[in-house]
Amino acid sequence: MRCSLAAAHTGLKGIVFCLLMCLVCPLAAPAFAVEPPKQLLIGIEPEHNIFDQMERYRYLASYLTDQLGVEVKLTIMSRYGEVIKRFKSLNLDGAFLTSYTATMAIKELLLDPLVHPVNLSGEMTSQGYVFVRRDSGIGDIKGMRGKSIVFVDPATMEGYLFPLAYFRQHGITDMRREFNRFYFSGSHVSAIFTVLDGRADIGAAKSTVFNKLANDDPSIRQELRIIAQSPKVPEVTLCIRSEIDSDLRAKLTAVLLQMDKTPQGKKVLEKFQTIRFVKSTTADFVKVEEMAREARAAIEEHGK
């Protein structure tokens, strides 16, 4: 009797286990077979001319919608520094991120870097430049002491972290003490114009913006001298949430990488002001992380 009771108890436990599994399994099912989303919401970091930028990205979004069969929508993510916060609050599926925010997003949000564009000059990377007016008499780091400096934004590699790391390597750690004044212009173009006009003695900005302006206006290279250059890193990278359906991710990557091989894709690339997209990897961001570490050390010592 005892045995039969024990057997009945074991049988009951089995039934309860099966019932529980029936309840739990439907909840767990999406983790193993993700439904492809009906829409992909992609964020964009604001550039100097937000209207031109939206126009460029609009063609790309429309092309991707046609090719993927999934609506691709775009949204601007406000300021550089708020990208991580905004990515979460807007429930984004991915974003075109500049090098430092991409590095942070890969680390903190576990995003996957998919592709990055090759610009019309054939560059697939950008560098940080530290520059001065040629007639300023500033030739090196010694001449910079006591002068005014304009950065772009605290969350840009080229426009803040690189110059900070550069100054630290050359013995300047306390910005407040070593410079007469420093401030943030909000855009790379603005930082360049500020130094050209003489509103600041030293500036930092990214090479792609600098070179584009200088190609349009030859007086810029005659008037500005580049004092320091950072290592090259991807300028903008499309990063996607790792939870996005792997088939969709693969398809998205393939469509972008193949764009320069179809007439329609080429037209869209032209509007996007890009030659083609190339594959990105997390290794591309190691240099950025190293620079960020150096810059963070300077910030921790003396504040922003």
Partner 1 sequence: MLSILLAVLVVLSAARDSHAEKRIGVIMTGDVPYYGAMHAVFVSALKKKFAGDDEIEVILQKPFPNAISWSNAARKLIAFDVDLIVTYGASATQAVLYEKSRIPLVYAGLYDPDQAKVSGKNVTGCGFKVPMSSIIRYFKHLKQIDTLGIVFSSVEEDSVRQYEEMKVLAWQQNIKTEKIDIRSQTGLDQVLAKNADAVFITGSALVHLWIDDILSILRKKQIPAADIFPDDLDSGVLMTLFQPPQAQGQMAADMASQILLGAKPGNILSYTFRDTELVFNLDEARRFGIDFPIQLLIEATKVVK
Q: Which residues bind to partner 1, rule: CB under 8 A?
A: 48-49, 133, 135-136, 148, 186-187, 189-190, 193-194, 196-199, 201, 217-220, 223
* Of 211 and 237, CB closest to partner 1: 211
CB 271 within 8 A of CB 56: yes
Q: Decide: residue 173, CB within 10 A, 0-12 exposed, 13-18 middle, 19+ buried.
A: middle
* Of 101 and 187, CB closest to partner 1: 187
Q: Which residues of 69-102 are buried (b: 16+ CB within 10 A; e: fewer)?
A: ebebebeebeebbebbebbeeeebbbbbbbbbbb
Least distance (Å) between residue 46 CB and partner 1: 11
Least distance (Å) between residue 36 CB and partner 1: 39
Among residues 158, 204, 196, 155, the alpha carbon closest in space to that of 179 is found at 204
Least distance (Å) between residue 163 CB and partner 1: 20
Residue 70 backbone phi and psi in degrees, to 5: -130, 130
* Of 44 and 106, CB closest to partner 1: 44
Least distance (Å) between residue 223 CB and partner 1: 6
Least distance (Å) between residue 189 CB and partner 1: 7
CA-CA distance, 210 to 206, in Å (whole number)? 6
Least distance (Å) between residue 96 CB and partner 1: 20
* Beta strands 128-133 and 202-206, pairing class: antiparallel
CB 252 within 8 A of CB 68: yes
* Of 98 and 148, CB closest to partner 1: 148
Among residues 170, 186, 157, 169, the alpha carbon closest in space to that of 284 is found at 157
